[in-house]
């Protein structure tokens, strides 16, 4: 946010893990949704550079739109993490429906996500506390340009938990980090199964089960901050110039909300990067789209995560929901479908097939 603003948001249809987030407990109000912290210096530095590059190049920001016409096809690894009481809660249909929502909400921007593997883990210890590093070391797959989506019942059952959290991209994911662990290890998005299609929603908003929490969290993974970041009408905000200034996290869907009356534009309550209800959020702005492409192509594409995740066997039965003593992860993997393998190979070759319905 800065000098370029709009009265109405234009329509174009990291978590950097810290100690507060590691407990899966939000210290904010009862309606806290996203556990992604205020961006750390590495993420802020990367965002500022990308914003400045956008401004310097001007419309149509061709460097930002590298491969824009071809779109982005993001290889995605889904990890279901459940406690024994909720083993089997996340069904095949819920996963399919969640990926459909994710692809539908990003389709106007020519970004799609193709599932390469789905893992299932039952571990009471992992759901009682975040233990993000443990989960990532055991489960994370692919490079820094592969989305790892964790559907964790701990976010649904623990009192005070946020409904999702995710990492921001940084310039050097291997050489920088926290407590001696690189950001690449922590890279990924966690989403409460309660917010998935077919889930029970959240205690303060049962209707927040339309799958859009994943849309919000993946926005962070693609380099977007909260539109209210900094809670300051005059600050840098989300480092995107066409999201109107706002200093509050929206609750519900207050159509005329204007928390920065001295700045142009009403609050962008319909933006996926706000906290409005699932029925209310419907859009990214043009420059948010630019930022997602620029972030992926500049900060993620082609970078190795250097994370010793497991190699997926192809002879395990799908969805056998093993149980075991806490702390000893066992997983079952879905064999990739031929079309998914073909898409992944096309993506690795730097080409993108014409967009098709997933």
pLDDT tens track for 283-313 = 999 999 999 999 999 999 998 875 444 333 2
Q: CB of 89 within 8 A of CB of 193? A: yes
Sign of the alpha-carbon torsion through 52, 351, 284, 172:
negative
Instruction: List, for residues 237-269, the tens digit of each pLDDT value.
Output: 898 999 999 999 999 999 999 999 999 999 999
H helix runs in the chain, sequence order = 19-22, 41-57, 92-106, 124-128, 132-139, 154-157, 183-186, 212-221, 286-295, 338-348
The H-or-E segment that residue 73 falls in is: strand 72-82
How remote is the C-alpha of 84 from its chain's centroid?
26
For the chain, the structural domain boundaries read 19-225+285-348
* Average pLDDT of the residues in 91-98: 98
Reply yes or no on whether 57 is catalytic. no
pLDDT at 39: 56
Whole-angstrom Cα distance, residue 338 to residue 121? 24
pLDDT at 131: 86
Whole-angstrom Cα distance, residue 227 to residue 248? 9
Percent of the chain predicted with pLDDT > 90: 52
Query: Class for domain 19-225+285-348, per CATH?
Result: alpha beta
pLDDT, greater one: 121 or 322: 121
Whether 338 shows a pLDDT value over 50: the answer reads no
Whole-angstrom Cα distance, residue 282 to residue 108? 11
Name the range with the highest mean pLDDT among 39-43, 173-177, 194-198: 194-198
Catalytic residue among 217, 283, 339, 358: 217
Instruction: List, for residues 8-22, the tens digit of each pLDDT value.
Output: 222 222 333 332 233
């Amino acid at each position: 946010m800065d000098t370029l603003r709009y009265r109405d948001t234009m329509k174009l249809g990291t978590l950097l893990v810290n100690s507060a987030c590691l407990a899966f407990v939000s210290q904010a109000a009862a309606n806290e949704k996203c556990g992604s912290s205020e961006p750390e210096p590495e993420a802020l530095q990367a965002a500022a550079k990308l914003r400045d590059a956008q401004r310097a190049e001007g419309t149509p920001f061709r460097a930002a739109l590298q491969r824009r016409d071809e779109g982005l096809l993001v290889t995605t690894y889904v990890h279901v993490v459940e406690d024994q009481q909720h083993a089997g809660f996340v069904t095949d249909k819920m996963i399919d429906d969640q990926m459909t929502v994710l692809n539908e909400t990003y389709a106007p921007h020519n970004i799609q996500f193709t599932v390469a593997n789905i893992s299932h883990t039952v571990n009471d210890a992992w759901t009682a506390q975040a233990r993000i590093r443990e989960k990532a070391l055991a489960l994370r797959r692919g490079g820094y340009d592969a989305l790892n989506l964790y559907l964790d019942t701990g976010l649904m059952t623990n009192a005070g938990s946020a409904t999702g959290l995710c990492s921001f991209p940084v310039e050097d994911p291997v050489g920088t980090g926290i407590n001696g662990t690189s950001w690449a290890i922590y890279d990924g998005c966690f989403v409460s199964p309660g917010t998935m299609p077919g889930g029970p929603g959240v205690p303060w908003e049962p209707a927040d089960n339309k799958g859009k929490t994943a849309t919000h969290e993946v926005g962070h993974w693609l380099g977007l901050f909260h539109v209210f970041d900094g809670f300051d009408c005059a600050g840098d905000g989300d480092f995107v110039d066409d999201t109107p200034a706002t200093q509050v996290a929206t609750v519900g869907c207050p159509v005329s909300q204007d928390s920065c009356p001295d700045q142009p534009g009403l609050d962008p309550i319909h933006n996926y990067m706000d906290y409005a209800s699932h029925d209310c959020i419907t859009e990214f702005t043009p420059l948010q789209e630019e930022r997602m492409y620029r972030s992926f192509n500049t900060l993620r594409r082609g970078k190795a995560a250097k994370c010793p995740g497991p190699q997926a066997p192809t002879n395990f039965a799908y969805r056998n929901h093993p149980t075991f003593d806490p702390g000893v992860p066992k997983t079952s993997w879905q064999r990739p479908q031929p079309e998914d393998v073909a898409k992944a190979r096309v993506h690795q070759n730097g080409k993108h097939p014409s967009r098709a319905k997933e």
